[in-house]
Amino acid sequence: MRVLTFASQKGGSGKTTLAGHIAVQAEAMGAGPVALIDTDPQGSLADWWHERESETPVFAHTSVSELASDLRELADMGMKLVVIDTPPAITSMIEKVIEVSELVVIPTRPSPHDLRAAGATVQLVEALNKSMMFVVNAASRRARITSEAAIALSQHGIVAPVTIHQRTDFAASMIDGRTVMELDPKARSSKEIAQLWDYMNAKLNKVHRTIISPDRFTIPRRKRTQVPGVEQTETA
């Protein structure tokens, strides 16, 4: 089982939106079963997932203290990919999440504030000797600062060759638990997510790390059937 984490000290970098979209795209491309985990106390990813009509990806409730054990449980259940969203802060909790991750994705908007904030996340990932990559997110088309941001980030690590541009369909899709791919598969945003997942998938396949994880899950949620470790949409 592969573990992909989205992390950034800067709030508003787009972690939650990208996590949800990449998880759905991964499932659609046969990389599943995929499980989502939301470690952000705000619970934005969880809220989005509970608005979804689709049964996939599944959602797993866990605490950071039980994260390692729950990852083992998910692996035993046959999950192939876990996508984790994190809060906008550098804390001991984030450190524990990164410790069990194979690849850490750092979404960064092309702005001076975001570029400066990326440093703390990079230091933590490097200290834990984990693989990482940057994604330039919410960029304006043909804006000079977009290319400048990619160049600046490349001095500190790998930058995904796919830029995610600022478009209203990303926000619109997150309102009702969908993704841009489900709104319009032929849209530019959908193509960008598809290309980004292809790149992430290739990167993940090159990462060979053994994750040691303990066990156990609890997930009570209304209008959902409960199975050990994951939640699924209620079936008729």
The residue assigned the tokens 């001991």 is: 92
pLDDT (tens digit per residue) in 199-223? 999 999 998 544 444 444 433 343 3
Distances (CA, A) of 105 to 7, 78, 200, 201: 6, 24, 9, 12
Other residues' Cβ atoms within 10 Å of the Cβ of residue 184:
12
Q: Evaluate if residue 100 carries a pLDDT over 70.
A: yes
pLDDT at 230: 54
* Tokens at 221, concatenated: 């949620």
pLDDT at 229: 52
pLDDT at 211: 43
Domain edges within the chain: 2-210
pLDDT at 222: 33
Reduced DSSP (H G I as helix, E B as strand, rest coil) percent helix, strand, coil of the chain, to 5: 40, 15, 40
d(CA 202, CA 204) in angstroms, rounded, equals: 5
Question: Binning pLDDT at 50, 70 and 90, where does residue 153 land?
Answer: very high
Nearest CA among 181, 158, 160 for reference residue 169: 181
Does the pTM surpass 0.85? The reply is yes
Sheet holding 58-59, edge to edge: 131-136, 103-108, 2-6, 81-85, 34-38, 58-59, 230-233, 224-227
Residue 110 near residue 139, CB atoms below 8 Å: yes
d(CA 108, CA 156) in angstroms, rounded, equals: 13
**Across 121-141, average pLDDT:** 95
Other residues' Cβ atoms within 10 Å of the Cβ of residue 124:
19
Q: Evaluate if residue 37 carries a pLDDT over 90.
A: yes
Question: Binning pLDDT at 50, 70 and 90, where does residue 141 land?
Answer: confident
CATH number listed for the domain at residues 2-210: 3.40.50.300
Strand partners, 106: 134
